[in-house]
Structure 1
Amino acid sequence: MIGVCLGLTGVLWAQLSVSHFTLAWDHTIEKIRWEEDYRVTEQGLVLEEARVRGNGAGMEVPDGAWLENGSWHYRRQLPPLQPLRLGRTPEAGDYQLCVDGQCHALSHWIGAPTARQPFIQMWTCKAG
């Protein structure tokens, strides 16, 4: 089974046996929640849909977005991401990884964000 690996430059810090997940965070300035739904495939992480609960500085809602339950929903046609690089610093806060409605901060698996390690990577890997 494939899953998701978290780490840096191929160095594995954590491994999750999931087929899909939501990555969520709060915009550092506007404090507005963003969510992205990913499907895990052999080719990489496929962004299926994204949502944002408002707009503001540097957060324009894309063309074709639709408003549903207080969030703007949209889809982008991107190739599978392998790896997905996430900026992660103490000042910006942490991402949340949600699976089957249960959300946990990435620090649950890999520790708190640090200034000396300002990003991590996520990639598709064999779950073991």
Structure 2
Amino acid sequence: MLGLCLGLAGHVWAELPQQQFTLSWHHTVEKIVWQEDYRLTPAGLQILQARVKGTGAGMEIPDDAKFYDDSWHYQPKLAPIAVLRLGRAPEAGDYQLCFNGKCQPMSHWIGAPNHQVEAVELWSCAVNP
């Protein structure tokens, strides 16, 4: 079964037996919520949809985005991502991982952001539930 692996440079810190997830965070400058929905595939993480509550520095809304439920919704047209690398500094706050509508900070699985390791990678991996 495919699952979500969290780690760095191929070292697995956590394996989560989930097929889909939402990644959510606050933009570090604008403090606006950003969300991306992913499905795991053998080729990588396939982004399905993204939502953002507003615009700002580096947060341009695509022309085909639709505004409803207090957010701009759009569907990025991207190939599956083999490894999604995220910056993770304590000052920026933590990412949220949501499965089936229930969210937890990423620190729930891999500890709090720290200056010794300021990145995490997400990828599709084989897990045993």
Which TM bucket (shorter chain)? over 0.9
Shift of 1:26: 0.4
**Counterpart Cα distance in 1 of 2:7 and 2:81:** 15
Give me the whole-angstrom Cα distance separating, in 2, the residues matched to 1:74 and 1:115. Answer: 33
Equivalent residue letter for 2:80: P
**Secondary structure, aligned partner of 1:91:** helix
Question: Where in structure 2 are the equivalents of 1:48-127 lying within 5 Å?
Answer: 48-127=48-127
Counterpart residue identity of residue 60, structure 2? E
Amino acid across the alignment from 1:32: I
Q: Quote the residue 2:37 is aligned against.
A: 37
> Structure 1: which 5+ residue stretches go unaligned?
none
CA offset digits 1:62-82 (Å, max 9, x no partner): 111110111000111111111
- Please report the TM-score for the alignment, with normalisation by the length of structure 1: 0.97
* Distance (whole Å) between structure 1 residues aligned to residue 18 and residue 58 of structure 2: 31
Query: How many residues matched?
Result: 128
AA partner of residue 91 (structure 1): E
Gaps of 5+ in 2: none
After TM superposition, give the deviation of residue 5 of structure 1 in Å.
0.4
**Structure 1 residue 116: deviation in Å?**
1.7
Q: 2:46 & 2:2 partners in 1: Cα distance? A: 13
Normalised by the size of structure 2, how large is the TM-score?
Answer: 0.97
Alpha-carbon displacement from aligned partner over 1:40-80 (angstroms, at most 9, x marks no partner)? 11110000000001111221111111101110001111111
Q: Larger deviation: 59-68 or 103-112? A: 59-68
Residue identity opposite 1:56 in structure 2: G
49-58 vs 15-24, greater mean Cα deviation: 49-58
Could you list the structure 1 runs, at least 4 aligned residues long, displaced by more than 3 angstroms after superposition. Answer: none
